[in-house]
Amino acid sequence: MQRKLYKISVIGCGRWGAFIAKYLSDVGHAVTLYGRPGSRKTEELFSTRKNALMELPAAVLTTTSLPDAVKTAEILVISIPSQNLRGLLREIAALPTIPKTLVLCMKGLEIGSGKRLSNVAAEELGEETRVAVWIGPGHVQAFCAGIPNCMVIDSADEKTKRTLVDAFSGDLIRFYYGQDLVGNEIGAAAKNVVGIAAGFLDGLGLPSLKGALMSRGTREIARLIEAVGGNPTSAYGLCHLGDYEATLFSPYSHNRRFGEAFARGEEFGDLAEGYYTVRALTALADQTGVDLPICRAVEDVLYRGASLPDCIRQLFGRSLKNEF
């Protein structure tokens, strides 16, 4: 059956946003890439049509006009830092045209409220906008080298989910239908925090402890997912455990590299979403009464000046009576 093609606008000119625009154009869609006016990153990408990893196809249109990007789009894909989402959505809500289908290609939770990003979108744009999330393992560097991977699209609206999987699937990315929006969003956000913890271990010269971190981290997040109404087994899927290779071991993982640099007392200039997500996770833990020892340890180190070696010693020196 022939694929139905759509007019798609991608919001965000970072490496993921640029790659998404290229990928969706390559599979046949009419794509417009939006970047904020005055942004150095936007100006460089739009003037050269390339970044350090890839070149934009000639078919991809570019714009610094948010109204133009939104009004022409049948599907709007957003790839920006998670804590900037609500502000962007308020700008979009003020426009004459509101997107009917919104895809969040980003992982995180809102600090302060602890809300999932799909909840934030529903609050700002209303129930008329169908919201989906695009999550799962993969790095732009690998995709640009032609290395395929599997990812997940999930939505509370079954028709939207199936439409997007059919429209977005290609040889480079095989999409699965998500079955648990709550669990998939929590799991995808939380894996970045576990990635920072993995970086701590690398920085301390303790990578052999990653096996324990992986098993305990997955169980920890499964408990949280269940407590907030999701399916705990989602933690063992592509949203979380299935993304550990890319997050806990890959040299491209910003969260792992951030944790490693922190442990070594070095500067790290790139975005590490787990730095913000950990505060939202511990707030959820406070609300639900779920024990999140790994997340607590990461938060204590990053925000409370706790000794990293002491926190690691305490974390892995917990009771030997039970595995988890």
Catalytic machinery residues: 191
Q: Convert the pLDDT of each residue in 141-173 to its tens digit.
A: 999 999 999 999 999 999 999 999 999 999 999
Across residues 180-196, what is the average pLDDT?
97
- pLDDT for res 271: 80
| Per-residue pLDDT reduced to its tens digit, 243-294 | 999 999 999 999 999 999 999 999 998 889 999 999 999 999 999 999 999 9
Tens-place pLDDT, residues 216-241: 999 999 999 999 999 999 999 999 99
Give the residue-averaged pLDDT of 85-97: 96
End-to-end CA distance of the chain: 48
Q: Which domains does the chain have, with CATH numbers?
A: 7-177 (3.40.50.720), 189-315 (1.10.1040.10)
pLDDT at 324: 45
Contact between 249 and 256 under an 8 Å Cβ cutoff? The reply is yes
Task: Tell me what the mean pLDDT of segment 116-123 comes to.
Answer: 97
**pLDDT at position 318, please?**
59
